[in-house]
Structure 1
Amino acid sequence: MFDFVRNNQRVLQFVLVLLIFPSFVFLGLQGYEGFNEGGGDAAEVGDLKISTAEWDATHRDNIERLRAQDAELDIKQLDTPEAREQTLLSMLRERTLLFAALKQHLAISDERLMRLFQTNADFAFLRNPDGTLNRTLIEAQGMSVEQFEARLRQDLAVRQVLLGIGNSPTGSSVAAESALDALMQRREVRLARFEAGRYLAQAQPSEADIEAHYKDPANAEALSTPERLKIEYLVLDATQIAAKIELSEAEVQAAYDANIALYSQPEERRARHILIQSDPKDPAEKRAAAQAKAAEILALLRAKPERFAELAKERSEDSGSASKGGDLDYFGRGAMAKPFEDMVFKMPVGAISEIVETEFGLHIIQTTGERGKGKRSFAEVREEIEGSLRKERAQKLYAEQAETFSNLVYEQSDSLAPAAEKLGLTVQTASLIGRSPVKDDKVSPMGNAKFVAAVFAEPVLKEKRNTDAVDLGGNRLAAARVVDYREKRKLSVEEAREIVRSRVALALAAEQARKDGQAALAAWKTAEGAAAAEAGLTAPVSISRPNPQGLTEAAMNAVLAAPPDKLPTLLGIDLGGDGYLIARVDKVLPRDPAAGDAKQLKEQYAALWASVESDAYVETLKARYKARVLAPKAVKPAEAASR
Structure 2
Amino acid sequence: MFDAVRNNKRIVQVFLALIALPFAFFGVESYVRNAGGDGDVAKVGKTTISAQEFQRAYREQQERLRGALGANFDAKMFDTPEARLNVVNGLVDQRVLLLEAAKGRLYASDAQLAQVITRIPALQEDGQFSQAKYEQALKAQGLTIQGFEAQLRQDLTLQQVVGAVADTGLVAKAQAAQVLRIQMENREVAAYLLNPSQFVAKAKVDEAAARKYYDANGAQFQVPEQVKAEYVVLSADALKAQSAVGDAEVKAWYDSHQDRYQQAEERRASHILIMAEAAAPAADKAKAKAKAEALLAELKANPAKFAEIAKKESQDPGSAANGGDLGFFVRGAMVKPFADTVFSLKEGETSGVVQTDYGYHIIKLTGIKPGKVKPFEAVKGEIEAELKAQAAARKYAEAAENFSNLVYEQSDSLKPAADKFKLTIQTSAWLTRNAAPADAAQAASAANPKVLDALFADDALKNKRNTAAVEVAPNTLVAARVLEHKPASQHPFDEVKAAIIEQLTRQEVLKLVKAEGESQLAKLQSGEDKLAWSPAKGVSRMSPSQLPREALVALFKADVKKLPAYVGVELPGNGYGLFKITKVERPEKVDDTQVARLQEQYAQFAAQQDTAAYLAALRKKYGVEIHKAALENKER
Provide TM-score, normalisation by structure 1.
0.71
Q: How does 1:105-144 map to 2 (within 5 A)?
A: 105-109=107-111, 112=115, 115-116=118-119, 119-120=122-123, 131=133, 133-134=135-136, 137=139, 141=142, 144=144
- Give secondary structure in 1 for the equivalent of 2:220: coil
Cα separation, partners in 2 of 1:311 and 1:470, compared to 1, 3 Å: closer
- Give secondary structure in 2 for the equivalent of 1:293: helix
Verify the 8 A CA contact 2:25 2:154 in the aligned structure 1: no
Provide TM-score, normalisation by structure 2.
0.72
1:532-557 alpha-carbon deviations (Å, 9 max, x no partner): 22x1x334567789997775543443
1:636 maps to 2:627: no
Provide the C-alpha distance between the structure 1 equivalents of 2:420 and 2:109, rounded to a whole number of angstroms.
65
CA shift, 1:634, in A, is 0.8
Verify the 8 A CA contact 1:72 1:448 in the aligned structure 2: no
Structure number with greater Rg is: 2
1:573-593 alpha-carbon deviations (Å, 9 max, x no partner): 1235543222335567999xx
Q: 1:395 is matched with which residue? A: 393
Verify the 8 A CA contact 1:236 1:478 in the aligned structure 2: yes
CA shift, 1:363, in A, is 5.3
Q: Which residue of the other structure, out of 280, 287, 298, is the alignment partner of 1:296?
A: 287
CA shift, 1:473, in A, is 0.9
Verify the 8 A CA contact 1:188 1:540 in the aligned structure 2: yes
Cα separation, partners in 2 of 1:618 and 1:367, compared to 1, 3 Å: farther
Provide the C-alpha distance between the structure 2 equivalents of 1:367 and 1:106, rounded to a whole number of angstroms.
48
Which shifted more, 151-160 or 367-376?
367-376
Q: 2:383 is matched with which residue? A: 385
Provide the C-alpha distance between the structure 1 equivalents of 2:10 and 2:165, rounded to a whole number of angstroms.
20
Q: 2:406 is matched with which residue? A: 408
Provide the C-alpha distance between the structure 2 equivalents of 1:157 and 1:309, rounded to a whole number of angstroms.
49
Which shifted more, 566-575 or 156-165?
156-165
Query: In percent, how many aligned pairs have the same letter?
Result: 27
Q: 2:460 is matched with which residue? A: 460
Verify the 8 A CA contact 1:432 1:446 in the aligned structure 2: no
Provide the C-alpha distance between the structure 2 equivalents of 1:403 and 1:13, rounded to a whole number of angstroms.
39
Aligned residue pairs total 584
CA shift, 1:16, in A, is 1.1
Provide the C-alpha distance between the structure 2 equivalents of 1:392 and 1:209, rounded to a whole number of angstroms.
67
Letter in structure 1 aligned against 2:553: N
Q: 1:287 is matched with which residue? A: none
Verify the 8 A CA contact 2:264 2:370 in the aligned structure 1: yes
Q: Which residue of the other structure, out of 11, 15, 24, is the alignment partner of 1:12?
A: 15
Cα separation, partners in 2 of 1:101 and 1:81, compared to 1, 3 Å: same
CA shift, 1:458, in A, is 2.6
Provide the C-alpha distance between the structure 2 equivalents of 1:571 and 1:463, rounded to a whole number of angstroms.
66
- Give secondary structure in 1 for the equivalent of 2:214: helix
CA shift, 1:104, in A, is 3.1
- Give secondary structure in 2 for the equivalent of 1:443: helix
Cα separation, partners in 2 of 1:375 and 1:550, compared to 1, 3 Å: farther
Provide the C-alpha distance between the structure 1 equivalents of 2:597 and 2:12, rounded to a whole number of angstroms.
21
- Give secondary structure in 2 for the equivalent of 1:483: strand
Q: 1:571 is matched with which residue? A: 567
Letter in structure 1 aligned against 2:501: R
Letter in structure 1 aligned against 2:575: G
CA shift, 1:572, in A, is 1.4
Cα separation, partners in 2 of 1:211 and 1:569, compared to 1, 3 Å: same
Q: 2:490 is matched with which residue? A: 490
CA shift, 1:396, in A, is 1.4
Q: 1:510 is matched with which residue? A: 510
Gaps of 5+ in 2: 1-6, 296-308, 318-325
Verify the 8 A CA contact 1:409 1:415 in the aligned structure 2: yes
CA shift, 1:213, in A, is 1.9
Verify the 8 A CA contact 1:525 1:570 in the aligned structure 2: yes
Provide the C-alpha distance between the structure 1 equivalents of 2:225 and 2:144, rounded to a whole number of angstroms.
58
Provide the C-alpha distance between the structure 2 equivalents of 1:184 and 1:244, rounded to a whole number of angstroms.
69
Provide the C-alpha distance between the structure 2 equivalents of 1:220 and 1:172, rounded to a whole number of angstroms.
58
CA shift, 1:509, in A, is 1.6
Q: How does 1:257-336 map to 2 (within 5 A)?
A: 257-264=255-262, 274-275=276-277, 277=279, 290-299=281-290
The two structures, once aligned, show a CA RMSD in angstroms of: 5.3
Verify the 8 A CA contact 2:564 2:582 in the aligned structure 1: yes
CA shift, 1:221, in A, is 3.2
Q: Which residue of the other structure, out of 242, 246, 249, is the alignment partner of 2:247?
A: 249
Cα separation, partners in 2 of 1:108 and 1:56, compared to 1, 3 Å: same
Q: 1:26 is matched with which residue? A: 25
CA shift, 1:566, in A, is 6.4
Cα separation, partners in 2 of 1:223 and 1:152, compared to 1, 3 Å: closer
1:620 maps to 2:614: yes
